[in-house]
């Protein structure tokens, strides 16, 4: 850092930074802008490298302890691990990282710049225990306590990211040698670093539509498409069962591929996997590659000369061999574990005497880009023709990989695809106001509102208790509706639920995913005044009386081939019919989503949710009707006499006591009791607090009883 003003030690940096950056979050934000400079120089870090005889363990060179990072010229340089002091009562914990590696954690005494070397090792989760006399250690970020646990703290770190955490506590000046602090490194975990579902997490994705971008569901490396590629409902039955796949991407062979920056520079303890269905296997094709197929990196390919699948270390070697059959889904994986790379086909090591399934060879350091469907460095050459699904790149601790870690062997969990609270998460929501849109709090499929549906405080008591609802959306029945892109292409193992309160009973659509000829949803049948589920273009099923001006919870669930209509959590009819593949839009209160002219719903709708789950994995306990959320404070209101009124919801207890403080760092024993909250409606409690107008900000806590 000498180039940045001669800051060579903690005191120098403190003098420059702490007058304006008082908390770790502020320092971190400021330093973030230096990251490209720091990681690209021979002395990456705030303080440059330590002399060879000044390592944290005494008279030892830093390199002995792997405190090095690769520089732009390919050399390794010692990494810095000193960070900034704040005040005599604060210590900064700093984490710097190697590019594409696990973080290095370190603790520094801000008073003496002492570095406690026994915390300097790769870690994702780091537990630090201070000497017994050093107590009440709090981790501060932006002035807010995020963890307080006596003299023990646990830091959770992200791979490939830096972090500053500020510690505050008593007698921190005792941190003068390593005897005052002890760190332990819990076992590292299997870690997906990029995962492209190839449709399920892409906004507006539907079979037959062109693909422009596919979402990285575990990171930020979304892939951009060029050429011709379309979503397809053709998926591997194994992928459907293992991860809930409903969409894949088909590359037509007309130059279609997807690419972005390099995903990883790992050369060991990594893996890449995908499901593939080639249209032809007689030419060389690149399926997935990280780097340059000619000189660096690693990936999955088809070898045309013998129509086989294989893995490749660019510029080094091919690995393994397995027959490639056109128009058949196959799961492929390349894994390098503790120095040995293995090629897997459908979870089994695959190879021949000439092309064994394993190699001890080391891949060249990946450079360039990442691509699906073509070589990253030259997309027109060796394009893949066919379908690809569920592409994932992952890392793991040395020696810790098992084939059960592959997606091939997973069981998907219950997953909320979209959830429209109908007010609580809408930034412009106000009682009585017209809604312009309603927010998808679980995904990105916000619904645009038309015909001025309005926010209402009329909510189901059950919804108030189980979801914390305090707003709903009212629809006039005369052109008011909400609509957005298709929410799901699922035909099995899905659910749709909502609370509904019709003002009148007539033929009306409550919620529909698709169009009237294909899709599924919830409706009111006017001819017999009943709630029904519908598979558009196939059949109505289930039946329960629809009563005007009464809140009712409805759910349509199709689990492993059997569809059920639930009314207030009780089955009201079933069918084994198969819904047609949904197409079109998702809509609320709109009878005909394609032209919005018929069967509008009149009344209130609330807490609309769409979810998926593994086959046979649904339970009625999964419905919102049976959730028990944490109580939350809502609706602050300033009364005319200067008294503040608050409401809190999600309350299942009959009585609540309210406490307040002006300082979150105080122990609970120092909080002040405000009194008992009063029940003003089912699931809603209210209390008042009368601070003076010149009081500091105040914080509240509720407890039962």
Q: Burial, 698: exposed, middle or buried (Cβ in 10 Å; 0-12, 13-18, 19+)?
A: middle
Q: What is the pLDDT of residue 26?
A: 38
Q: What is the pLDDT of residue 86?
A: 31
Q: What is the mean pLDDT of the chain?
A: 74
* Contacts by residues 668-674 (CB-CB < 8 Å, ≥ 24 positions apart): 668/701, 671/701, 674/700
Q: Calculate the alpha carbon distances from 375 to 58, 254, 384, 468 in Å.
A: 48, 15, 9, 50
Q: What is the pTM of this model?
A: 0.47
Coil/strand/helix, residue 137: coil
Q: Tokens 């053709």 belong to which residue?
A: 234
**Confidence band for 393, pLDDT divided at 50, 70 and 90:** very high
Q: Tokens 């009314």 belong to which residue?
A: 567
pLDDT digits (tens, 9 = 90+) for 172-214: 555 444 444 444 444 446 788 899 999 988 988 999 999 999 9
Concatenated DSSP letters for 342-368?
Answer: EEEETTEE---SSS-SEE---PPPP-S
Per-residue exposure over 629-654, b if at least 16 CB sit within 10 Å of its own CB, e if not: eebeebeeeeeeeeeeebbbbbbeee
Concatenated DSSP letters for 263-326?
Answer: ----SSSEEEEEEEEES--SS-EEEEEEE-TTTS-EEEEEETTTTEEEEEETTTEEEEEEE--T
H or E stretch at 224: strand 223-226
Report the alpha-carbon distance of residue 83 to residue 95 in Å, rounded.
Answer: 9
pLDDT digits (tens, 9 = 90+) for 60-86: 222 222 223 232 223 232 332 223 333
Q: Is the model's pLDDT at 555 over the cut of 90?
A: yes
Q: Determine phi and psi for 506, rounding to 5 degrees.
A: -155, 170
As a CATH number, domain 632-703 is 2.60.40
Q: Give span(s): CATH 2.60.40, the chain.
A: 632-703
pLDDT digits (tens, 9 = 90+) for 415-470: 889 999 999 889 888 889 999 999 998 888 999 999 999 999 999 988 887 887 88
Domain 415-626 has CATH 2.60.120.200: yes
Q: What is the mean pLDDT of residues 308-323?
A: 96
Q: Give span(s): CATH 2.60.120.200, the chain.
A: 191-409, 415-626
Secondary-structure class of domain 191-409 per CATH? mainly beta
Q: Is the model's pLDDT at 656 over the cut of 80?
A: no
Q: What is the mean pLDDT of residues 256-274?
A: 93
Report the alpha-carbon distance of residue 14 to residue 67 in Å, rounded.
Answer: 23
């Amino acid at each position: 850092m000498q180039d940045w003003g001669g800051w060579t030690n903690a005191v120098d940096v403190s003098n420059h930074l702490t007058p304006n950056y008082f908390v770790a979050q502020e320092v971190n934000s400021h330093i973030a802008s230096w990251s490209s400079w720091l990681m690209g120089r021979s002395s990456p870090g705030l303080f440059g490298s330590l002399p060879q005889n000044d390592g944290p363990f005494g008279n030892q060179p830093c390199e002995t302890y792997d405190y090095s990072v690769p520089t732009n010229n390919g050399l390794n340089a010692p990494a810095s691990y000193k960070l900034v002091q704040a005040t005599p009562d604060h210590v900064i914990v700093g984490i710097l990282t190697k590019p594409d590696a696990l973080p290095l954690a370190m603790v520094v005494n801000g008073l003496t710049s002492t570095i406690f070397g026994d915390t300097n090792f790769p870690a994702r989760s780091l537990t630090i225990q201070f000497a017994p006399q050093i107590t009440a250690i709090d981790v501060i970020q932006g002035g807010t306590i995020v963890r307080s646990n006596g003299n023990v703290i646990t830091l959770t770190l992200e791979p490939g990211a830096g972090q500053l955490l500020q510690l505050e506590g008593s007698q921190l000046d005792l941190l003068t040698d390593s005897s005052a602090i002890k760190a332990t490194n819990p076992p590292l975990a299997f870690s997906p670093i990029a995962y492209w579902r190839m449709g399920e997490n892409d906004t507006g994705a539907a079979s037959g539509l062109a693909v422009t971008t596919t979402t990285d569901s575990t990171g930020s490396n979304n892939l951009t498409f060029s050429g011709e590629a379309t979503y397809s409902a053709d998926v591997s039955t194994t992928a459907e069962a293992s991860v809930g796949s409903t969409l894949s991407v088909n590359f037509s062979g007309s130059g279609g591929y997807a690419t972005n920056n390099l995903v990883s520079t790992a050369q060991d303890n990594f893996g890449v996997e995908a499901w593939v269905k080639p249209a032809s296997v007689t030419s060389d094709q690149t399926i997935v590659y990280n780097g340059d197929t000619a000189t660096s990196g690693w990936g999955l390919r088809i070898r045309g000369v013998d129509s086989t699948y294989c893995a490749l270390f660019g510029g080094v070697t091919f690995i393994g061999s397995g027959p490639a059959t056109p128009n058949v889904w196959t799961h492929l994986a390349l894994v390098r574990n503790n120095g040995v790379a293995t090629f897997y086909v459908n979870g089994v090591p695959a190879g021949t005497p000439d092309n064994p399934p394993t190699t001890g060879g080391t891949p060249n350091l990946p450079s360039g880009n990442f691509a699906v469907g073509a070589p990253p460095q030259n997309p027109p050459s060796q394009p893949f023709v066919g379908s690809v699904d569920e592409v994932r790149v992952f890392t793991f601790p040395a020696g810790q990989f098992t084939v059960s870690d592959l997606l091939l062997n997973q069981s998907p969990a219950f997953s909320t695809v979209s959830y429209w609270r109908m007010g609580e998460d809408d930034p412009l929501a106000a009682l009585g106001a017209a809604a312009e849109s309603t927010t998808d709090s679980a995904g990105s499929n916000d619904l645009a509102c038309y015909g001025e549906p309005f926010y209402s405080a009329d909510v189901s008591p059950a919804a108030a208790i189980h979801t914390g609802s305090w707003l709903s959306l009212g629809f006039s029945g005369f052109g008011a509706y909400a609509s957005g892109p298709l929410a799901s292409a699922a035909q099995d193992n899905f659910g749709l639920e909502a609370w509904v309160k019709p003002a009148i009973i007539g033929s009306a659509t409550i919620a529909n995913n698709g169009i009237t000829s294909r899709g599924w949803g919830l409706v009111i049948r006017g001819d017999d005044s009943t709630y029904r589920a519908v598979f558009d273009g196939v059949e109505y099923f289930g039946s329960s009386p629809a009563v005007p001006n009464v809140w009712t919870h409805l759910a349509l669930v199709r689990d492993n081939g059997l569809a059920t209509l639930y009314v207030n959590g009780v089955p009201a009819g079933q069918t084994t019919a198969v819904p047609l593949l949904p197409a079109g839009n998702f809509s609320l209160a709109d009878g005909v989503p394609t032209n919005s002219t018929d069967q509008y719903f009149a009344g209130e709708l609330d807490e609309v949710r769409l979810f998926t789950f593994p086959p046979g994995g649904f339970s009625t306990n999964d419905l919102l009707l049976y959730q028990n959320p944490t109580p939350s404070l809502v609706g602050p209101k300033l009364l005319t006499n200067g008294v503040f009124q608050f409401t809190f919801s999600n309350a299942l207890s009959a009585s609540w006591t309210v406490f307040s403080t002006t300082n979150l760092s105080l122990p609970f024993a120092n909080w002040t009791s405000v009194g008992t909250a009063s029940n003003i409606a089912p699931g809603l409690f209210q209390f008042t607090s009368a601070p003076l107008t010149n009081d500091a900000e105040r914080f509240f806590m509720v407890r039962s009883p």
